[in-house]
Structure 1
Amino acid sequence: MLYWTLVFLVVAIIAGALGFGGIAGASAGIAKILFFIFLAFLIISLVVGLFRRV
């Protein structure tokens, strides 16, 4: 999934540079959603890792 986040980020940057508002907005939105999903997974993994050590 991290691969797709980077793909949508690159598409958003290219589309934004070329001025395609709809494509840039959609790609940036998807990249932002995937970013927050990965952030939640990171926090969950850290919490689970701390409880397993104890």
Structure 2
Amino acid sequence: MTVATVLGNTTTLAALVKDVWDIMTGNPVLLVFICAGLVTLGFSMFRKAKRAARG
């Protein structure tokens, strides 16, 4: 396995992820669910950080 092979596969994977992301964000219903999941994730991370700061 060469560096060129790894870089080529990484580029292909990045393009695939971009295509999937474009499809998901193009659908308004999926976009609402993605946003709801990100907000929930943000709240849970904030709570964990707050608890860790308390000790």
* Structure 2 length-normalised TM: 0.54
| Per-residue deviation, residues 1-52 of structure 1 (Å, max 9, x unmatched) | xx73xx233x3xxxxxxxxxxxxxxx10001001000000000000000000
Task: Tell me, yes or no, if structure 1 residue 29 matches structure 2 residue 29.
Answer: yes
Identity %: 3
Equivalent-residue separation in structure 2 for 1:53 and 1:32 (angstroms): 32
Unpaired segments ≥5 residues, structure 2: 1-17
Equivalent-residue separation in structure 2 for 1:34 and 1:49 (angstroms): 23
2:36 match: secondary structure: helix
Question: Computing the radius of gyration over CA atoms, which structure comes out larger, 1 or 2?
Answer: 2
Please provide the CA RMSD for this pair. 1.5
* Structure 1 length-normalised TM: 0.55
Unpaired segments ≥5 residues, structure 1: 12-26
Task: Compare relative contact order (CA 8 Å, sep 6+) and give the higher one, 1 or 2.
Answer: 1
Counterpart of 2:52 in structure 1 is 52
